Each structure stands twice: as C-alpha cells, then as structure tokens.
Amino acid sequence: MTFCVPPLSGKDEVPRKQGVKSRLASLGQNLTREVNDMVKIDQVELGEFPLLLAPMEDVSDPPFRALCKVQGCDMMYTEFISVEGLIRDAHKSVQKLDIYEEERPIGIQIFGAEIDSMRRAAEIVEEAQPEVLDINYGCPVKKVVCKMAGAGILQDIDRMVKLTDAIVKSTNLPVTVKTRLGWDDKTMFIEEVAERLQDVGIKALSIHGRTRKQMYKGEADWTLIGKIKENPRIHIPIFGNGDIDSPQKAKLYRERYGVDGIMIGRASIGYPWIFREIKHYFATGEILPPPTVEERVAAARQHLNHSIEWKGLKLGVLEMRRHYTNYFRGFPHIKPYRKELVTVHDPAVLHNVLDQIQERYSMHEQTTLV
C-alpha cells in the first residue's frame, strides 16, 4: 500500500521527518479503525454494515441470488438443505450445494436433528467450499419442527448447544447459526442461547425477532436482539432479521438496536432492489425512485431464463411462478397478464407476455406505478 503524504509548508521543513512520521502514524490509526469497523465472520470480511440475504426455501436459489448480488447484497445463503437428504445423495438436496464464484461470500445452510447426520453433512458441505456453514434453528414449519429440527430444537437448548458443538468440531469452515427468540413467549432464552453458542465456537448469529409460535404473524420484536448486542460477553457479529422492508426501517433498526448487519428475507422476494435502496439511503439519506417497468421486466426475464437453465424446463417454469406477483405488485389491471404467467408452460409465450407488460406499462409508469 502506498501512502501519499501532503507536502509541508516552508516553515515546516526543518522538522519535516518528524512531521511525516506523525502523519503516517495518524494514517495508520485511521486504517486500523477502518479495519476494526469492518464486520467479519471469522476471516470473511463483509464491510462496515452488511446486508445479508436470508436463506429461504424455493426462493434463495442461484437464479435469485444472482439478482440480489447485483443489487448490492453483501452475503447470501443457500436454501436450507436437509442433512438427511445430503447424506443419502438426494438430487434436490445435493443440487442446493451449487454455488458460483460471483456469489461469494456465501454460506450453505443445513438443518437436521441427529448429531451423526449433521457431522456427515458438514463434511459434504465443506467439499462444496462455501465461506460459511450455517445451521438452521429457526424454521417454524411443522414438518421440520416435529423432527426437532429447525425451530423445534428451541424446546431443548442443551441439545442445541451439544449439536452445535459437534458441528463446529467436525468442520474447518466457520459455523454460524440462524434462530428465533424462543419457542414461545414464555421461553425466549435467546440471550442465554447467544452466549452458549458463542462459547462452543460459532462465528456469527442471525436472530429472527419472533418466536416459533408466532410463525410470521404479528410484528418482529428486536428488543432482545438489541440486549444481546449490549452484552459485554458477546463479541461475534449479531445480525437482526424480521420485517425490514424499507430503507427507513433499516436505518431506524440499525441505530436503535446496534446490530452488526441486517438479514433480509421476504421483502426481497420479487424485489432485489431493496439492497441497493437501503445502501443508497445509508450513504445519502435519499430515497431512490422505485425500479422502472423496464428494470422489473428485465429482472423477471433473467430470473426465468436462469431458473430454466438451473432447474430444467418444467421445474424452472413452475417454480418461477411464485415470483411474478412480487415483480409486478401494484401494477393496475395486471391480473390478465399474471394469470398467463402462472398458467403458461412455453417460455416463448412467457417472454411474449413480459414484452406486453413492458410495452403497456412503460407508457404509464410515471403516473400509475409510483
């Protein structure tokens, strides 16, 4: 690294050597502060205040992650992967290990309940060479919870700690965890959980501000997340998750709760632009205008093409259908077009519908799509 030291005035020429030394020391201190301010998961550098894409089943796949990365997402996670599927070489589970260089840094998230299966899955994940291995202790879905996986393990904190310890010891990857406040409002032991998981070696913790019983209902409460950040024992990054759907709210929660970064989930579905909007607001205090019709159509088109490339024609078309509503939310009289998008199987016809949407709504976006 080259340091450029400003020239000294004539009256400073006698102590010039001392002045240069002093200025270099000052520059070094500033650089140290910048480095110290950078959020890191172990040795993975994420910037001053990272925005993370939450792992979401049937959403955060490579086609969608590519869109989020372009819009400024700092770190992304795969869809959660069943460890039982991985160790049995199930196609759908193994395919979710696909990661690409342009996505980095990226974490692969796994879920399961049996220590031996989790260890074996961790070995498989390590071979895929992500930056991070993440454990899901937060999924509230019944079919996961009933096996004591996902948020189900919040009913047995000792087991959660034991399972995490085993995984940390079985892999060279940094291990992180995503979880919830607790099983219900009577068992919100997340402060204890944070300390104990840190003690067994996790390198970061992402917390959704709801209990399992709440599912996704009501408002996410970040109060306990903020308390964890205030705990002098906690030194790993703490990422908040839940209900961040605007730049203003991201800034408010950043300042109010002191988190190291924000993980964004549902608000990004069909709207990857949320990452750039938040970053722009942080930097300037200005609200960016919403994406144009042309941008929305281009994103939907790219998403469709990459979905077909990665999943094959049939599955690529089918699994893309969940996204169209969000890409074109708020468009007046969009229903006939949306109906075609979610019923047609031929990609050529789908692209034609997207062309029609762009042609019709581009003429009116200044007055109708604000």
Residue 363 banded pLDDT, cuts 50, 70, 90 = confident
Average pLDDT of the segment spanning 37-56: 96
**Residue 29 is which amino acid?**
Q
Tens of pLDDT, residues 89-115: 999 999 999 999 999 999 999 999 999
What is the domain partition of the chain in residue ranges? Answer: 41-284, 293-368
Tallying the residues shown for the chain, one arrives at 370
Q: What percent of the chain has pLDDT over 90?
A: 87
Tens of pLDDT, residues 317-344: 999 998 999 999 999 999 999 999 999 9
Which residue do the tokens 């109708």 mark? 368
Handedness of CA 57, 124, 190, 212 (dihedral sign): positive
pLDDT at 369 over 70: no
DSSP for 154-169, please give it: GG-HHHHHHHHHHHHH
Average pLDDT of the segment spanning 260-283: 97
Tens of pLDDT, residues 169-219: 999 999 999 999 999 999 999 999 999 999 999 999 999 999 999 999 999
Average pLDDT of the segment spanning 82-86: 97
Residue 283 banded pLDDT, cuts 50, 70, 90 = very high
pLDDT at 239 over 60: yes
Residue 29 banded pLDDT, cuts 50, 70, 90 = very low
pLDDT at 281 over 70: yes
Question: What is the rounded average pLDDT for all residues in the chain?
Answer: 90
Residues whose CB falls within 8 Å of the CB of residue 94, separated by 6 or more in sequence, listed in order: 85, 86
Residue 37 banded pLDDT, cuts 50, 70, 90 = confident
Question: Distance (Å, rounded) from C-alpha 353 to C-alpha 341?
Answer: 7
Architecture of the domain whose range is 41-284: Alpha-Beta Barrel (3.20)
Burial of 312 per CB tally in 10 Å (0-12, 13-18, 19+): exposed
Q: What is the pLDDT of residue 276?
A: 98
Question: Distance (Å, rounded) from C-alpha 304 to C-alpha 321?
Answer: 9
Catalytic residues: 139
| Collapsed DSSP state (helix, strand, coil) of residue 284 | helix
Q: What is the pLDDT of residue 6?
A: 33
Q: What is the pLDDT of residue 114?
A: 95
Handedness of CA 359, 360, 363, 369 (dihedral sign): negative
Does 41-284 match 293-368 in CATH topology?
no
Alpha helices in the chain (DSSP H): 16-37, 62-70, 83-87, 91-95, 115-128, 142-145, 157-170, 190-199, 223-230, 247-257, 274-284, 293-311, 313-327, 335-341, 347-362, 365-368
Predicted structure pTM score: 0.87
Residue 365 banded pLDDT, cuts 50, 70, 90 = low
Tens of pLDDT, residues 108-123: 999 999 999 999 999 9
pLDDT at 144 over 70: yes
Architecture of the domain whose range is 293-368: Orthogonal Bundle (1.10)
Burial of 234 per CB tally in 10 Å (0-12, 13-18, 19+): middle
pLDDT at 355 over 90: yes
Exposure on the CB side of residue 311, measured as CA atoms within 13 A: 23
